[in-house]
Amino acid sequence: MGGIKNNHMWLFLSVLFVAFGVTHGDISKDSYWLLRIKSKFVDHEGVLDSWSSKANICSWNGLRCSEDLSYVVGLNLSGSGLAGSISSEFPNLVLLEVLDLSSNILTGVIPPELGRLENLKELHLYSNFLSGKIPAEIGLLKQLQVLRIGDNMLTGEISPHIGNLSELRVLGLGYCQLNGSIPMEVGNLKHLKSLNLQENNLSGLIPQEIGACRELQFFSAENNMLEGSIPTSMGKLVTIEILNLSNNSLSGLIPNELGGLLNLKYLSLLGNRLNGGIPSDLSQLSQLSTLDLSRNNLSGAINIFSSQLKNIESLVLSDNYLTGEIPNDLCTSNSKMQKLFLARNKLSGKIPPQLMSCSSLRQLDLSDNDLGGVLPSGLDSLENLTDLLLNNNSFTGTIPPEIGNMSKLESLFLFHNRLTGSIPKEFGKLWRLSQLYLYENQMSGTIPMELMNCSSLTEIDFFGNHFSGSIPTTIGRLKNLVVLQLRQNDLSGSIPPSLGYCKNLQALALADNKLSGTLPPTFRFLTELSIVTLYNNSFEGPLPDSLYLLKNLTVINFSHNRFSGSILPLSGSNALIKMDLTNNSFSGSIPIELASSRNMSRLRLGHNCFTGNIPSEFGRLTELNFLDLSSNNLTGEVAPQLSNCKQIEHLLLADNQLKGTIPSWLGSLQGLGELDLSSNFFNGTIPAGLGSCSSLLKLSLHSNNLSGEIPLEIGNLTSLNVLNLQKNNLSGAIPSTIQQCKKLYELRLSENSFTGVILAELGKIADLQVILDLSRNHLSGKIPSSLGDLIKLEGLDLSFNNLQGEVPSSLGTLTSLHVLNLSSNHLHGQLPSSFSQFPLSSFLGNKDLCGRPLVPCSRSEGLRTKRLSETAAAGIVVAIVFTSTLICLAMLYMMLRIWSNWRKVSISNSDGGNLNKMIEEENWACGNEKKRNMEYWKMNSAALITSQGGDISTETYLKMNLGSKDSALV
């Protein structure tokens, strides 16, 4: 027990002794604290192995002792791979002057206890993973000259206490997540030479007080959210050499005072909202080597002159609204300028000839302006030029062959101009040329064989010209070629087999030409090929089986060619994203191997000769948004596994031989925008679940065997533009909910068995434009006058129904209507006068319609009167016949009575033969009259029936009812 007490006492005395010793700089006691500090580090690389009580402390790695070796003054463990945290016991090394723990893997916060290191002059904690706020206690380090704690995960604001560091020379807070504003107390740092605040989230204004930092040489606050104007007080920073305020939200004018910073070598204000003109005072900055004012809203003419900016090497004024011409003396013969970027402005005029004397230029970018004229023939005097960008202007004429003398040229961008003529053969001397962009011009001629000498070429883009002839057979000499874009020209012939030796090729675009033949077997060597587009050519034949070796293909478009056979050779890549083989003659089954490309988003195989079922494996293509299998010979039902393709937006299965019912799971495809199942053998009803496809724009189910009613849920498709259900067996009334589809511009419901009336609500679908087709149904009632509100409607077909009543006059106001069919209904009355433009066939089969193009309504009244007169005459005849018959019967009765009496008298006198003959003659005469009357009735009845019949012409109708005399009047 006494031993334990003695131990505790010894430990207490030791702590007191150590504390007393450290206070007075005892080297042996520094070792104690350093060993405790070591315990906070995680040393994976053993850099602290030398920190041991068995070795002299001054020999420990990273330590620096005082001259008399009595205490530690410096600790530098930068780049040692240390993890862990920063110990809060560092303040026990009270005589420490330099602490450098930069470029490690330290985490945690910056201990506020570091503020007690009163003798500290340098604190380097940058490039770690420290978090939290910057401790305000740092402001207590009165002797601190260097504070570099950037490139961490520090947050919060910059403490105003930073202004207490009156001896500070370097303040590095860049590449953190600091917010708030720059404290005005920064103006107290009179000896500050470097201020780095870049890559933070700082906002607010740049304080005017910064002008008090008269010794400042470096100031960078790029990539923040600073706003307001640039303080004019910055004109007092007469010693500054580098000023970088790029990529903020600074606005207003560029202060003229910046022209007084005669020591300035680098000035970047790019990516702000500065406006106004470029101050001519900037021409006084004779030490300036880089001036970047790009991506602002600067306007006016360029009024800075290279003759005064004697040391300017990089002048970047791109992405502004500068106008006028390029100054003649912007780059003189004795200039040091290497980079001149004036792109994306509104400069006009020609390229000044004086610019050709700037032999030091390496990069010249004048793209995206309104420059014109011909390209100067003296361009080859820019002998050091590596990049020439003149694209997106209005240059005319031919390309000067002298460009072939620019032996250092690596990038030549002349696209989107009005250049004509051919590619100069002299280009074959540009052996360093890497990028050649001539697309979207009016160039012609053949691709010169000499171009194949440019062995450094990596990108060729000749899209949208009129190049003709064949692809050079020696193109395989361009072994560094990565991109070959020859689309939309007039090239012919076949693909040279040597192309297969361009083994670095990644993108090949030969579409929209007149190329033909088969694909060369050497394609198998293009193992880096990612994108290949050959559409709109005349390629034919089967695909080489060796294409299966191309494992990096992501985009394939062979559409609109004459390829045949199997597509299995194209299914060897699991990286496919887009495949379009439409309009070919491919046959066989669809390879299930395509389902291995899990990132496939677009698969178009329409208009081919594929057979078999839709592979159920396609359900694995969960990224698929476009599936087109239309116009093939596919059979079977729609694979239920496709319900897993939740991203699908376009599902086109039309013109096949698919059967079964329309899958109800289609309603779960929330992004579906186009569904086309037309011209198949689908039966059953339309699933009500389709009403859940709220993004649906086009629904086409025509030419199937669908039955039942249109579900009410169709009204939920409020984005629908096209609804085509024609040529089915649908029945019932047209649902009233269809009026909710306000964006419909095409509605086709013809050739079904719909009943009921035409909904008046259809007139509220104001966007109906292409057609409203309700023909060949069993609709009845009147034509709603509300259809006259469809002012955009171009086609209306209501033919072959049971419609009655008059044609609403409101339909005559449809000025956009150019297709109209109301035939074969029961309409009557006068047609609107504007309908005279439509053919007679639009109205036939309606017995009582009149007005042009039918007969005039006055003639129609005459016809009705004529028919009435004939009916009256027939009635009179019938009455006469009926009366005559009664009279005959009465006379016959009387004669029979007389004959009966007479017979009684004459039985004994005669046999009565003559009387029998007389009666027979009388009966024949009555019967003959009756027969004649019946024939007359049948004749007129037949005429009446014919006149009421179906599709006869108006001329025939008139001839039958008016006779030849009246018909001649017509």
pLDDT band at residue 889, thresholds of 50, 70 and 90? low
- The phi, psi pair for 934, rounded to 5°, reads -65, -40
673 token code pair: 């925008």
768 and 833 share one domain: yes
- The yes-or-no verdict on residue 914 having pLDDT over 60 is no
pLDDT band at residue 894, thresholds of 50, 70 and 90? low
The dihedral formed by the CA atoms of 26, 31, 33 and 39, expressed in degrees to the nearest 10: 180
Average pLDDT of the segment spanning 360-364: 96
223 and 112 share one domain: yes
Question: Quick check: 372 and 363 in contact, CB under 8 A?
Answer: no
58 and 128 share one domain: no
204 and 126 share one domain: yes
CA 742 from chain centre, in angstroms, equals: 25
Which residues are CB-contacts of 925 (< 8 A; sequence separation ≥ 6)?
A: none
Average pLDDT of the segment spanning 329-333: 78
Amino acid at 64: R
- The yes-or-no verdict on residue 935 having pLDDT over 90 is no
- The yes-or-no verdict on residue 2 having pLDDT over 50 is no
85 and 137 share one domain: no
Task: Identify whether 640 is preceded by a cis peptide bond (ω within 30 of 0).
Answer: no
Residue 911: how many CB atoms within 10 A of its CB? 9
- The phi, psi pair for 731, rounded to 5°, reads -140, -175
Distance CA 961, CA 634 (A): 57
Query: Which CATH number belongs to the domain containing residue 830 in this structure?
Result: 3.80.10.10
Lowest mean per-residue pLDDT among 46-55, 211-220, 949-958: 949-958
Question: Quick check: 828 and 805 in contact, CB under 8 A?
Answer: yes
| Residue 384 placed within a domain | no
Q: How far is CA 966 from CA 851, 866, 946, 954, in A?
A: 19, 11, 18, 13
Range 258-286 burial, b when 16+ CB lie within 10 A, else e: bbbbeebbbbbbbbbebbeebbebbbbbe
Q: How many domains does the chain have?
A: 3
210 and 117 share one domain: yes
Range 369-391 burial, b when 16+ CB lie within 10 A, else e: bebeeebbeebbbbeebbbbbbb
| Residue 165 placed within a domain | yes
Mean pLDDT rounded to a whole number for the chain: 88
- The yes-or-no verdict on residue 305 having pLDDT over 60 is yes
115 and 210 share one domain: yes
pLDDT tens for 80-136 read: 999 999 999 999 998 999 999 999 999 999 999 999 999 999 999 999 999 999 999
| Residue 215 placed within a domain | yes
Closest Cα partner for 738 from 680, 686, 777, 671? 686
- The yes-or-no verdict on residue 936 having pLDDT over 60 is no
pLDDT tens for 467-507 read: 999 999 999 999 999 999 999 999 999 999 999 999 999 99
Q: How far is CA 345 from CA 295, 330, 371, 379, in A?
A: 10, 16, 10, 22
Distance CA 99, CA 460 (A): 55
pLDDT band at residue 309, thresholds of 50, 70 and 90? confident
- The phi, psi pair for 311, rounded to 5°, reads -105, 10
| Residue 2 placed within a domain | no
Residue 55: the pLDDT is 87
Question: Quick check: 502 and 523 in contact, CB under 8 A?
Answer: no
| DSSP run (H or E) holding 777 | none
Give the angle subtended at the CA of 431 by the CAs of 462 and 522, to the nearest 5°.
60
Percent of residues, the chain, with pLDDT higher than 70: 85
Distance CA 738, CA 760 (A): 11
Residue 893: the pLDDT is 57
- The yes-or-no verdict on residue 679 having pLDDT over 50 is yes
192 token code pair: 């500050």
Residue 965: the pLDDT is 28
Question: Quick check: 518 and 545 in contact, CB under 8 A?
Answer: no
Lowest mean per-residue pLDDT among 389-403, 773-787, 862-876: 862-876
Question: Quick check: 61 and 39 in contact, CB under 8 A?
Answer: no
Residue 885: the pLDDT is 58
418 pairs with which residues across the strands? 396
Residue 465: the pLDDT is 98
Question: Quick check: 58 and 69 in contact, CB under 8 A?
Answer: yes
- Backbone dihedral region for residue 645 (phi beyond 0: left; psi -120 to 50: alpha; all else: beta): beta
86 and 116 share one domain: no
222 and 122 share one domain: yes
Residue 884: the pLDDT is 57
941 token code pair: 């009845």
Average pLDDT of the segment spanning 238-257: 97
When comparing pLDDT for 929 and 751, which is higher? 751
Average pLDDT of the segment spanning 851-866: 68
Residue 27: the pLDDT is 76
pLDDT band at residue 24, thresholds of 50, 70 and 90? very low
| Residue 679 placed within a domain | no
Domain interval for residue 843: 756-856
Given 53, 71, 94, the domain boundary residue is 94
Residue 433: the pLDDT is 98
pLDDT band at residue 888, thresholds of 50, 70 and 90? low
Given 807, 825, 856, the domain boundary residue is 856
3-state secondary structure of 807: coil
Closest Cα partner for 141 from 96, 184, 173, 205? 96
968 token code pair: 């001649």
Which residues are CB-contacts of 661 (< 8 A; sequence separation ≥ 6)?
A: 682, 683, 684, 685, 687
| Residue 930 placed within a domain | no
- Tokens 């990286």 correspond to 575
Residue 892: the pLDDT is 63
Residue 304: the pLDDT is 82
762 and 834 share one domain: yes
Distance CA 829, CA 840 (A): 16
The string of DSSP codes covering 275-290 is EEPPPGGGGG-TT--E
Which residues are CB-contacts of 198 (< 8 A; sequence separation ≥ 6)?
A: 174, 175, 220, 221, 222, 223, 224, 244
Beta pairing, strands 819-821 & 848-850: unpaired
> Max CA-CA distance within the chain?
191
142 and 189 share one domain: yes
62 and 161 share one domain: no
The string of DSSP codes covering 134-162 is PPGGGGG-TT--EEE--SSEEESBPPGGG
| Residue 159 placed within a domain | yes
- Tokens 């692809």 correspond to 471
Distance CA 770, CA 724 (A): 12
Average pLDDT of the segment spanning 755-759: 97
Residue 891: the pLDDT is 62
Average pLDDT of the segment spanning 408-427: 98
pLDDT band at residue 523, thresholds of 50, 70 and 90? very high
Residue 21: the pLDDT is 37
| Residue 64 placed within a domain | yes
Given 94, 116, 139, the domain boundary residue is 94
Residue 816: how many CB atoms within 10 A of its CB? 11
604 pairs with which residues across the strands? 580, 628
When comparing pLDDT for 926 and 327, which is higher? 327
Residue 29: the pLDDT is 80
Closest Cα partner for 390 from 399, 486, 404, 381? 399
Distance CA 628, CA 102 (A): 58
pLDDT band at residue 937, thresholds of 50, 70 and 90? very low
586 DSSP assignment: E
- Highest average pLDDT, of 17-31, 350-364, 696-710, 922-936, comes from 696-710
Residue 887: the pLDDT is 60
Average pLDDT of the segment spanning 455-477: 97
Lowest mean per-residue pLDDT among 43-52, 98-107, 254-263, 915-924: 915-924
Closest Cα partner for 361 from 317, 315, 401? 315
Closest Cα partner for 246 from 199, 208, 214? 199
Average pLDDT of the segment spanning 226-243: 97
pTM of the model: 0.78
Distance CA 414, CA 36 (A): 67
Closest Cα partner for 153 from 131, 124, 175? 131
pLDDT tens for 49-63 read: 999 988 899 999 999
3-state secondary structure of 547: helix
565 pairs with which residues across the strands? 586
